[in-house]
Structure 1
Amino acid sequence: MKPNLFDLTGRLALVTGSSQGIGLALARGLADAGARVVLNGRDEAKLAKAAATLAEAGITAEIAAFDVTEASGAEAAVAALEDRLGPLEILVNNAGMTRRFPATELPESVWREIMAVNLDGVFFMAQAAGKRMVARGHGKIINIASVQSDLGRPGTAAYSASKGAVRTLTRTLCAEWAKHGVQVNSLAPGYFATELTKALVDDPAFTAWLCQRTPAGRWGRVEELVGAAVFLAAPASDFVNGTMVYVDGGMTAVV
């Protein structure tokens, strides 16, 4: 009998930045496909609340509170998870942030904060998980990029630069690890309605611009990211390496 190409039964998956929004939706989707999921964030109380939300849907999730921007913390957290739960087979690097400033006014502290979360954290987590996956000869790493890996917008210099770097980092890790059976890819969301984008969702002018700019004509819903994430985490993508999958309603396809 042929294996189910999208079956994640029993596979251990860690989703960073998953106490809410896109990360929580991806964790739920991986669990629905059979994975054992671990939620991560810096706030243990928020993680416990997120795990309780999943429990109401019949999903048991572990929580791991740690800061992905600290290399030693990332290493220690992955080591502890594997000691307790077994081999980490799926890593979703979702933790991210943005703060909007004109480039001429962007404080150095904000630049460094965004880079630490959006880029340093992705690398530190990929390094900690990836070296173990390479040693075992299999694993899946999904880095959450953005349409702003390719596109710029006023006020997002640090965010766009960090997400562009995530795209190139994904390709470099592919170049090193694909031969070891580890698939590293990125997922690029467009504009999705989440807690973090509420101010933009509630702005009629911005929403009107977005609906005109996006061929699908609307904001994305977080559950619409799940299919692509499950694909990149599953056996279906075993020969997919170093690519970026856009889930953006067609935004990057048109001018």
Structure 2
Amino acid sequence: MSRDFTGKSVLVTGATSGIGSAIARLFAERGAAVLLTGRNARAGLELRQAIVGDGGRAEFEAADVTVPGAAEALLAAAARHFGRIDVLVNNAGILHRGDITQCSDDQWAATLEINVTSVFRMSRAAVRAMIPEGGGAIVNIASDWGLVGATGALAYGVSKGAVVQLTRSMALDHARQGIRVNAVCPGDTDTSMLESAIPGLDHAARLAALGEAIPMGRVATPQEVARVVCFAASEEASFMTGAMLAVDGGNSAG
């Protein structure tokens, strides 16, 4: 089966919650050995145990991907646990809301460090590991706000636009080395990141209000995003590289 990842190893950053957790679980369900990483060790170990309890294969390495050297250490851990790396999913990210007058220097720097520089470092380490193995796949989690303008989230939108361009450049640079690089661009998704979207509303009311602005009339589930990530990493997408896959209910079509 082309979406069967048996015998493949996958590294997922920001795997301890939200979209990252859903991605890790789905890869494991489809047979991959998954290296989970994130800063929340308790959540990471609990996710590893849940995957193993369901018959999957997973390991957890606590790491802050903004720290220089963390990328190389994680790729070394993947080799130690699984022998090689076949798929990298760059999912770790943060969101600070505010326009340019409300964005502090610290918020700007932190957003670019986590959302862009960590993707660069992780991808560089992964490409160096994948070339001797004859190829691999990288899937970057960008955003529909990397495809269209956004209001009230300047630093986030800029960072995700940079991820889009990083994806395109890497795809062109490494296509002949058998490395496919694509980006999945979620819209509003039912994760903790949405809690700051409309302060003062409870969870259900917030989802309903956000859904009103989306052509399909609702926000995404993390599992819906995860399925597209698995597709992009699979052999079903074997001739696809440099693509931006919007999973946003039609938001970026307008």
- Map of 1:225 onto structure 2: 225
| 1:60 and 2:71 correspond | no
Listed as ranges, the matches of 1:149-168 within 5 Å are 149-168=146-165
- Listed one character per residue, the Cα deviations across residues 183-223 of structure 1 (whole Å, up to 9, x for unaligned) are 00000111111122235473777645532321210111111
Aligned counterparts of 2:51 and 2:2: Cα–Cα separation in 1: 25
Equivalent position of 2:245 in the other structure: 245
Whether the aligned pair in 1 keeps the contact of 2:190 and 2:207 (CA below 8 Å) is no
CA distance in 1, matches of 2:23, 2:30: 11
In the alignment, what sits opposite 1:196?
A: 193
Q: Describe the shift of the 1:151–1:209 C-alpha distance in structure 2 as closer, same or farther (beyond 3 A).
A: farther
Distance 1:142 1:251 in 2: 21
What is the TM-score normalised by the length of structure 1?
Answer: 0.92
Distance (whole Å) between structure 2 residues aligned to residue 88 and residue 186 of structure 1: 18
Aligned equivalents of 1:23 and 1:99: distance in 2?
A: 19
What is the CA distance between 1:104 and its match in structure 2? 0.9
Q: Is the 8 A contact 2:75 2:129 kept in 1?
A: no
Quick one: which amino acid aligns to residue 91 of structure 1? L
Q: 1:101-140, aligned counterparts within 5 Å?
A: 101-140=98-137
Which range is displaced more, 147-156 or 164-173?
147-156
Q: State the superposition RMSD in angstroms.
A: 1.8
**5+ residue gaps, structure 2:** none
Distance 1:59 1:200 in 2: 35
Q: Name the structure 2 match of 1:9.
A: 6
Q: 4+ runs of 1 displaced by more than 4 Å?
A: 203-209
CA contact (8 A) 1:193 1:221 kept: yes
Q: Counterparts of 1:194 and 1:230 in 2: how far apart (Å)?
A: 19
Could you list the runs of 5+ residues in structure 1 that have no partner in the other structure? Answer: none
What one-letter code is carried by the residue in structure 2 that aligns with 1:79? A
Between 1:89-98 and 1:192-201, the stretch displaced more is: 192-201
Q: Is the 8 A contact 2:22 2:223 kept in 1?
A: yes
- Matched residue of 2:230: which SS? helix
Secondary structure at 1:143 match in 2: strand
